[in-house]
Homo-oligomer: A and B are copies of this chain.
């Protein structure tokens, strides 16, 4: 690969899907996968997959497929890079606490959980798994002082839009959103949604189907 800047936007949007699929393949002990297998698993047509993967270099061979470990290595080296992400957890209730205690396997060395924030005076000033819970009023100052660029939103849905706007103004570039709200932010900030109701409904639908 000559220049990662050349990877088109549409390809980048599919990258997390590819990454998730390859990571799961690796965990299942699979060495290589064909574009047809990727196509069936992700419902992306094979031609699109081959075009996307051509940007990643010579990682596939006709009649062989893609080597799982090589692809994952490429993703880490050329896309993630060595950049460390400074992460803040916004909302230190049960879910926020769970994330502070969570063992983020594989990516621990590429992230730094700088701080948690909450409004609840009974937890502000405490530490959870060595991370201090600060009052939400300090978000802007802390974001600037510590170069926080990622926020994980685990606060009540009704205050999430207001918080997203504050985070954007504070220079945050990525939000992992656990609230059921769809956040209205500008193009310069990327929101990745995990909606637990939708995930559980997905399971119920599937169970009906099998």
Binding site for B on A (CB under 8 A): 4-5, 7-13, 15-17, 19-20, 23-24, 27-28, 40-43, 48, 75, 79-81, 83, 85, 93-95, 97-99, 101-107, 110-111, 149-150, 152, 154, 157, 173-176, 180-182, 187-188, 190, 192-210
Contacts and interface: CB of A to CB of B under 8 A. Distances in A.
State the copy count for this chain.
2
A30 to B, nearest CB: 11
A104 B197 contact: yes
Contact of A106 (B75, B102, B201): B201
Contacts of A81: 208
B203 A176 contact: yes
Nearest to A93: B98
B97 A206 contact: no
B15 A203 contact: no
24 contacts: A10-B40, A15-B202, A16-B198, A16-B201, A16-B202, A16-B205, A19-B202, A23-B201, A79-B205, A85-B207, A93-B98, A94-B94, A94-B98, A94-B101, A98-B154, A102-B196, A104-B196, A107-B201, A110-B204, A111-B200, A149-B207, A174-B206, A190-B210, A194-B194
